[in-house]
């Protein structure tokens, strides 16, 4: 679907016309990311990050496929094959560093993309499905990144695999058999490495598939915008091409510069030196930390140190280990419920004074603290801080957001996007809202 | 910006006559430079054309630069190239004997020819052969008895027989490829069968009386 004023695809050549009549692929592209997709005229640079995430996925797939040409998933050979890539393969050092840092940059742009969604209320009706698919992509990314990190079979790879699969052993009754099933053994070994490689190769294509659904769902209501006010007329939009292809292209240039600078000048900045030590199943590194993008969740995991028990009886209802694991998974899974936890009809944080305060002075500092604490050794002060952070995280989404949605008095919204941008009222007649679109603003 | 000015207003620009003509008093001007120099019939170079071409060229050059590592990673890596030459001690090979060794993951035949085999090879008029070469052209001066060839049939790459003791040597006493029946003579030259050229002689040199360096 699109707005009624969307431009129609007109083949420029007889060849394209011939193709379009038989397989309307050019039309699909034109309507998806071409002039046939009307987009609100007021998007800021935060709206670049969806496209950037797509580019990051392409970089990961391309570099990953060539790395797989040189890598072998063997507990004796994996580490050496990575070193072989670094030292012997033509430009192998570049391809591997690009893949390694590409993962970090993928998470950077996705986190900014999620931040954008959280602040501007992009998860609200009628865009809930886009959000649900987005959280799904995020979960798939985490699984893919974890399995990729295991492949070099360094110390952090091995012990990361040990710890992460250990989460599953916290589940009562079936936990330990489940963990052994996942690993194909009692500890990470050849079977685990082989299946991680297989799945690590598969998952990016699953992600690409869910991205297609994500973009498809996006094109039903169209893109959100910084005011959160729905598109009301043709004046409110501009065609995606050339306006946002140019804007995204500029953002892409900045992104690539940052990516290339880190890849060339600080390729190990975001990694951990212990992963350059071959895996040793008999010696745990002094301090295991996950990759930086998992740190907030790792902090939540570590926050639970006491069993949940009935006081004075000694009956343990939920052991601390299981609590931590449940909380860690719960911290992500609760994002699936966000569209129904935040019931305010106003989308953009700009017009929500109370929401904005808790967002900037509550959620963002909380995430910063959790990220920092996630990397710290489990000393008392860090454990306490992680407990505070985890408590606020859950309170923010489960208690604070539903309450402020009810009590908050939003600021007056502009009548239209055009009015917000130009100060002049929308000229054209308002279009009828689609059934999916609630009468927001 | 100087480049943009060149493109829009100066005689360096293509279609300079039109561009100059359009850059008259009526044309919109920014910073003293005409912004649009296209005429009504669509001729001339506009500022925007320059930006389009520059953008696409920049992206194209970037894509080409990125393609270099992506393509070159498939070529032989440094550890493969490091094994590109080998040294073989041939002292133990008696006349009439030959050995198979491996060079660049391909079999190499090193054969110590008997005087009869040398005579037989020299008896043939090289000019009449499919791939005209004399034994002298295929060996080192003073070491004519050392025939060193790749053990790879030039037809489709099978390993010919005749190097190991007891193997069929073919109708010409050299090598015989069992895959499609190519016969090579005592100089490793193709004499009968589908193979197009003689067995390849790799680059080699004797670095002492008994040690040969191949590659």
- Interface confidence, given as ipTM, is 0.78
* Residue A290 lies inside a defined structural domain of this protein: no
Question: Based on the domain organization, do A269 and A357 belong to the same domain?
Answer: no
Question: How far is the alpha carbon of B61 from chain A, nearest alpha carbon, in Å?
Answer: 14
Three-point CA angle A394, A310, A385, nearest 5°: 35
Question: Based on the domain organization, do A257 and A363 belong to the same domain?
Answer: no
* Residue A32 lies inside a defined structural domain of this protein: no
* Distance from C-alpha of A300 to C-alpha of A323, rounded to nearest angstrom: 10
* Among the ranges given (A323-332, A334-343, B76-85, B191-200), the one the predictor scored with the smallest mean pLDDT: B76-85
Question: Based on the domain organization, do A146 and A105 belong to the same domain?
Answer: yes
* Distance from C-alpha of A342 to C-alpha of A121, rounded to nearest angstrom: 9
Tell me the mean pLDDT in the region A130-137: 98
Chain B residue whose CA is closest to A84: B79
What amino acid positions of B are annotated as catalytic residues? 180
* Residue A21 lies inside a defined structural domain of this protein: no
* Residue A267 lies inside a defined structural domain of this protein: yes
Query: Which residue has 């082989």 as its token pair?
Result: A194
Pick from B61, B70, B72 the residue to mutate for testing the A interface (most A CBs within 10 Å): B70
Entry pTM = 0.84
Of B55, B69, B79, the CB nearest to A94: B69
Reduced 3-state DSSP string for B56-73: HHHHHHHHHHHHHHHHHC
Q: Mean pLDDT of all residues in chain B?
A: 82
Q: How many CB pairs under 8 A join A and B?
A: 38
Question: Based on the domain organization, do A270 and A315 belong to the same domain?
Answer: no
pLDDT at B6: 42
Report CB contact under 8 Å: B73, A87.
no
| Cβ-proximal residues to A173 (8 Å cutoff; 6+ apart), any chain | none
Question: How far is the alpha carbon of B37 from chain A, nearest alpha carbon, in Å?
Answer: 22
Question: Based on the domain organization, do A251 and A322 belong to the same domain?
Answer: no
> Considering only CB atoms, which residues of chain A are within 8 Å of chain B?
62, 66, 69-70, 84, 87-92, 94-95, 249
Report CB contact under 8 Å: B77, A92.
yes
Helix or strand holding residue B110 (H, E): strand B106-112
Three-point CA angle A398, A402, A405, nearest 5°: 150
Chain A residue whose CA is closest to B68: A91
Q: Which one, of A292, A264, A284, A289, lies nearest residue A142 by Cα?
A: A292
pLDDT at B46: 87
Tell me the mean pLDDT in the region A140-167: 95
* Residue A272 lies inside a defined structural domain of this protein: yes
A250 near A52, Cβ under 8 Å? no
* Distance from C-alpha of A433 to C-alpha of B179, rounded to nearest angstrom: 76
pLDDT at A441: 43
Question: Based on the domain organization, do A267 and A345 belong to the same domain?
Answer: no
Which residues of chain A does B70 touch, with a Cβ-Cβ cutoff of 8 Å? 62, 66, 91, 95
Confidence grade of residue B39 (pLDDT, cut at 50, 70, 90): low
What amino acid positions of A are annotated as catalytic residues? 219, 223, 247-248, 291
Q: Which residues pair with B204 in a beta bridge?
A: B214
Question: Based on the domain organization, do A91 and A209 belong to the same domain?
Answer: yes
The CATH number assigned to the domain holding A179 equals 1.20.810.10
pLDDT at A105: 97
Q: Which one, of A306, A277, A271, A276, lies nearest residue A383 by Cα?
A: A306
Question: How far is the alpha carbon of B71 from chain A, nearest alpha carbon, in Å?
Answer: 9
* Distance from C-alpha of B66 to C-alpha of A296, rounded to nearest angstrom: 34
Question: Based on the domain organization, do A113 and A255 belong to the same domain?
Answer: yes
In chain A, how many domains are there?
2
pLDDT at B43: 65
Chain B residue whose CA is closest to A94: B69
B109 near B163, Cβ under 8 Å? yes
Residue B73, chain A, CB below 8 Å: the answer is yes
Residues A108-147 as b or e (16 or more Cβ within 10 Å = b): bbbbbbbbbbbbbbbbbbbbbbbbbbbbbbbbbbbbbbbb
For B67-123, how does the pLDDT look when each residue is reduced to its tens digit (9 = 90+)?
A: 999 999 999 999 888 888 889 999 999 998 999 999 988 999 999 999 999 998 898
* Distance from C-alpha of A108 to C-alpha of A38, rounded to nearest angstrom: 28
Chain A residue whose CA is closest to B75: A90
Which residues of chain B does A60 touch, with a Cβ-Cβ cutoff of 8 Å? none
Question: Based on the domain organization, do A326 and A269 belong to the same domain?
Answer: no
Q: How far is CA A434 from CA A121, A231, A238, A430, B68, in A?
A: 19, 11, 19, 12, 49
Confidence grade of residue A327 (pLDDT, cut at 50, 70, 90): very high
Question: Based on the domain organization, do A50 and A197 belong to the same domain?
Answer: yes
* Residue A2 lies inside a defined structural domain of this protein: no
Confidence grade of residue B31 (pLDDT, cut at 50, 70, 90): low
pLDDT at B81: 85
Question: Based on the domain organization, do A124 and A168 belong to the same domain?
Answer: yes
Domains and CATH numbers, chain B: 2-72 (no CATH), 80-214 (2.102.10.10)
* Residue A289 lies inside a defined structural domain of this protein: no
Three-point CA angle B64, B69, B74, nearest 5°: 120
* Residue A168 lies inside a defined structural domain of this protein: yes
Which residues of chain B does A62 touch, with a Cβ-Cβ cutoff of 8 Å? 70
Which residues of chain B does A88 touch, with a Cβ-Cβ cutoff of 8 Å? 77-80
Q: How far is CA A173 from CA A170, A178, A180, A268, A317, in A?
A: 9, 9, 13, 41, 14
Which two structure tokens, joined as six digits, stand for A421? 């941008």
* Distance from C-alpha of A19 to C-alpha of A151, rounded to nearest angstrom: 43
Q: Which one, of A364, A343, A340, lies nearest residue A352 by Cα?
A: A343
For A213-231, how does the pLDDT look when each residue is reduced to its tens digit (9 = 90+)?
A: 999 999 999 999 999 999 9
Which two structure tokens, joined as six digits, stand for A282? 């008999």
For the stretch B31-40, contacts whose Cβ atoms lie closer than 8 Å and that sit 24 or more positions apart, written own/partner, are B33/B4, B33/B5, B33/B8, B33/B9, B34/B8, B34/B9, B35/B8, B37/B8, B37/B9
Question: What phi-psi label fits residue A91: left (phi over 0), alpha (psi between -120 and 50 degrees) or beta?
Answer: left
Which residues of chain A does B79 touch, with a Cβ-Cβ cutoff of 8 Å? 84, 87-88
Report CB contact under 8 Å: B69, A91.
yes
Question: Based on the domain organization, do A220 and A305 belong to the same domain?
Answer: no
Q: Which domain holds residue A187?
A: 44-231+240-276
């Amino acid at each position: 679907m699109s707005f009624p004023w969307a431009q129609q695809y007109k083949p420029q050549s007889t060849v394209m016309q011939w193709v379009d009549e038989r397989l309307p692929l050019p039309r699909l592209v034109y309507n998806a990311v071409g002039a046939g997709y009307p987009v609100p005229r007021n998007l800021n640079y935060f709206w670049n990050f969806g496209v950037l995430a797509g580019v990051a996925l392409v970089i990961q797939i391309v570099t990953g496929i060539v790395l797989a040409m040189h890598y072998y998933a063997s507990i004796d050979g994996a580490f050496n094959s990575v070193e072989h890539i670094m030292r012997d393969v033509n430009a192998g050092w570049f391809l591997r560093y690009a893949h390694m840092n590409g993962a970090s940059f993928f998470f950077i742009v996705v986190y900014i993309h999620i931040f954008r969604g959280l602040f501007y209320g992009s998860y609200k009706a009628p865009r809930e499905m886009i959000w649900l698919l987005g959280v799904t992509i995020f979960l798939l990314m985490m699984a893919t990144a974890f399995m990729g990190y295991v492949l070099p079979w360094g110390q952090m790879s091995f012990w990361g695999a040990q710890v992460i699969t250990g989460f599953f052993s916290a589940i009562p009754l079936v936990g330990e058999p489940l963990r052994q099933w996942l690993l194909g053994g009692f500890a990470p070994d050849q079977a685990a490495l082989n299946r991680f490689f297989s799945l690590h190769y598969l998952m990016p294509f699953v992600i690409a598939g869910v991205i297609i659904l994500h973009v498809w769902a996006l094109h039903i209501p169209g893109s959100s915008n910084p005011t959160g006010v729905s598109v009301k007329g043709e004046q409110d939009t501009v065609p995606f091409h050339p306006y946002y292809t140019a804007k995204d292209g500029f953002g892409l240039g900045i992104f690539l510069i940052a990516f290339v600078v880190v890849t060339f000048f600080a390729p190990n900045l975001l990694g951990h030196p212990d992963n350059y030590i071959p895996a040793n199943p008999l010696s745990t590194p002094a301090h295991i930390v996950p990759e930086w993008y998992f740190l907030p969740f790792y902090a939540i995991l570590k926050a639970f140190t006491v069993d949940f028990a009935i006081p004075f009886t000694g009956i343990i209802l939920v052991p601390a280990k299981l609590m931590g694991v449940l909380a860690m998974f719960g911290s992500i899974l609760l994002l699936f419920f966000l569209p129904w936890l935040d019931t305010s009809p106003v989308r953009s944080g700009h017009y929500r004074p109370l929401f904005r305060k808790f967002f900037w002075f509550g959620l963002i500092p909380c995430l910063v603290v959790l990220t920092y604490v996630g990397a710290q050794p489990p000393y008392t002060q860090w454990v306490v801080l992680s407990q505070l952070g985890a408590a606020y995280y859950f309170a923010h989404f489960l208690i604070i957001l539903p309450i402020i949605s009810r009590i908050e008095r939003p600021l007056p919204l502009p009548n239209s996007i055009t009015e917000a941008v130009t100060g002049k009222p929308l000229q054209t007649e308002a279009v009828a809202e689609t059934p999916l679109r609630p009468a927001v603003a | 910006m100087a480049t943009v000015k060149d493109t829009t207003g100066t005689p360096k620009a293509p279609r300079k006559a039109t561009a100059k003509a359009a850059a008259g008093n009526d044309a919109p001007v920014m910073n003293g430079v005409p912004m649009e120099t296209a005429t009504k019939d669509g001729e001339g170079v506009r500022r925007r054309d320059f930006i389009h071409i520059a953008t696409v060229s920049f992206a194209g050059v970037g894509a080409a630069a990125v393609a270099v590592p992506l393509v070159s990673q498939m070529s032989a890596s440094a550890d493969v190239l490091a094994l590109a030459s080998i040294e073989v001690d041939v002292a133990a090979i008696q006349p009439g004997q030959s050995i198979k060794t491996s060079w660049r993951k391909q079999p190499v035949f090193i054969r110590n020819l008997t005087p009869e085999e040398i005579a037989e090879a020299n008896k043939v008029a090289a000019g009449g052969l499919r791939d005209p070469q004399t034994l002298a052209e295929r060996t080192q001066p003073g070491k004519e008895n050392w025939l060193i060839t790749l053990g790879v049939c030039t037809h489709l790459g099978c390993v010919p027989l005749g190097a190991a003791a007891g193997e069929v040597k073919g109708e010409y006493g050299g090598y015989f490829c069992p895959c499609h029946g190519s016969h090579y003579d005592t100089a490793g030259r193709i004499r009968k069968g589908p193979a197009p050229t003689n067995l390849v002689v790799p680059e080699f040199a004797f670095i002492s009386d008994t040690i040969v360096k191949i590659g």
